[in-house]
Structures are given as structure tokens and as C-alpha cells.
């Protein structure tokens, strides 16, 4: 069955560049980003993993671990990581999952369920759908899912922005408007009555329409 927002993130045990992990145990009490790429030693993926390595400290500040995955072997990941550091200027310090049997890729609906063939035989084109991003909360539920086409490198700054929004709205009864960035005004959600809002947000709000109640971002 297809994975949907709000579903439990499937747990699994896997080999990674940092040893064997049990996914839910590895996440612990924080947040996690699981992202996949079509193939090691390919150009777009090289830029993506290098950029993500450069963002690792920013994710850590948000109590968020990152972990990569492809249907290549752990040994290929280790060899390719040297190319990533050399060409992108960032060392990959986060774990990379080896999934040559496509078990986890299929578990997360990243790849066609009937896909077959060894990692050595498969090309990036064969792994067309494996450019996915999942944000998983401390409750181990899926908070965000993104899938990009083969030819388009992902915008991981956008993933960081969405993570800020998700974490903020998990703490307060607010939503974030179009193109919102951390520190900007937010919106009181419709489920909060005006009476409740007066208690939660005593500073008041701007309301160009009764259903559009705007407040500064809660601290």
C-alpha cells in the first residue's frame, strides 16, 4: 500500500556506512530526514549529497538527523563519498543506507514494486522514482513526502524551510502562509476559536478577514 502523510514510518534494519541500524531506534526522540537517490557515481546525486552534507549542522540544530539511501551497496557508498567530498567540498558524515535488494525502497514506495535486478545491473534510469524525501517526527509518523524527477536536483533549503514550519506548528496552533520563512508572521488555525486565541495569543492579531488571523511567529 502507498505511504501517506500521517502514517507510521515503516521501521527496518539496514546496513549503512556507519554500521547496522534499526531505523526507529536510530531516530530516537528527535526528528529525521530519510532521502534517497537513484544511483551512486552520477552527477545530480553527487551535488545533492554534497549540499546535504553542508546543511547537516543546520539540521542538527533542529534536533534532526539525516540519512541517505540508494539501491547501491555500502561499499559503493564509501567509495563514492570520496568523490563527493572532492567535488562538492563537504564530507558526508551522515549514514548512507545500502539497499541493493530494494527492500527499503519498496517499503517506502520509492520505486516500482516489481523492480528487479542487482544493483550492478540497474542504471539510474531504472531507478527513476528513487529521488524522494521523507520528514519523520519524534512520534515516528511521516510529516512530509517529496518526490522529484530524475533530471531535477532537489532544493534542500526548501526541506529545511518546511521542517521549520512543521516543528513550529507542532508546538503551537498555527499554520504558515505562502513562501513563509522562519521569523515571519504566521496564521492562527481555524480550529482555534477567537476566545481560545485570546488566551493563547494575548498580544492579539490582525484579521483582514475573520478567517485570516495573523500574528507574529511565537517564540
User: What are the catalytic residues?
Assistant: 45
Residue with cell 516500482: 112
How far is residue 122 CA from its own chain's centroid? 25
Asked whether 64 and 28 are in contact (CB, 8 A), the reply is: no
Helix axes 43-61, 156-171, angle to 10 degrees: 30
Burial (CB < 10 A; 0-12, 13-18, 19+), residue 149, is exposed
Residue 80, φ and ψ in degrees, nearest 5:
-65, -30
C-alpha to C-alpha distance for 50 and 91, rounded to whole angstroms: 7
Residue with cell 476566545: 195
Cell of 47: 551535488
Asked whether 213 and 197 are in contact (CB, 8 A), the reply is: yes
Amino acid at each position: 500500500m502507498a505511504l501517506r502523510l500521517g502514517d507510521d514510518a515503516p521501521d527496518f534494519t539496514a546496513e549503512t556506512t556507519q554500521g547496522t541500524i534499526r531505523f526507529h531506534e536510530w531516530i530516537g526522540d528527535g526528528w529525521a530526514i530519510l532521502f534517497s537517490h537513484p544511483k551512486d557515481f552520477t552527477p545530480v546525486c553527487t551535488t545533492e549529497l554534497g549540499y546535504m552534507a553542508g546543511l547537516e549542522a543546520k539540521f542538527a540544530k533542529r534536533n534532526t538527523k539525516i540519512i541517505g539511501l540508494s539501491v547501491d551497496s555500502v561499499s559503493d557508498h564509501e567509495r563514492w563519498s570520496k568523490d563527493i567530498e572532492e567535488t562538492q567540498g563537504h564530507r558526508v558524515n551522515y549514514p548512507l543506507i545500502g539497499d541493493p535488494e530494494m527492500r527499503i525502497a519498496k517499503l517506502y514506495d520509492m520505486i516500482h514494486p516489481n523492480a528487479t535486478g542487482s544493483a550492478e545491473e540497474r542504471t539510474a534510469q531504472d531507478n527513476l522514482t528513487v529521488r524522494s524525501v521523507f520528514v519523520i517526527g519524534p512520534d515516528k509518523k511521516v510529516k512530509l513526502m517529496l518526490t522529484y524527477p530524475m533530471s531535477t536536483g532537489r532544493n534542500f533549503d526548501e526541506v529545511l524551510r518546511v521542517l521549520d514550519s512543521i516543528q513550529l506548528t507542532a508546538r503551537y496552533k498555527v499554520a504558515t502562509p505562502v513562501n513563509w520563512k522562519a521569523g515571519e508572521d504566521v496564521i492562527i488555525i481555524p480550529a482555534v476559536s477567537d476566545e481560545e486565541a485570546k488566551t493563547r495569543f494575548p498580544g492579539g492579531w490582525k484579521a483582514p478577514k475573520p478567517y485570516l488571523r495573523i500574528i507574529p511567529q511565537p517564540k
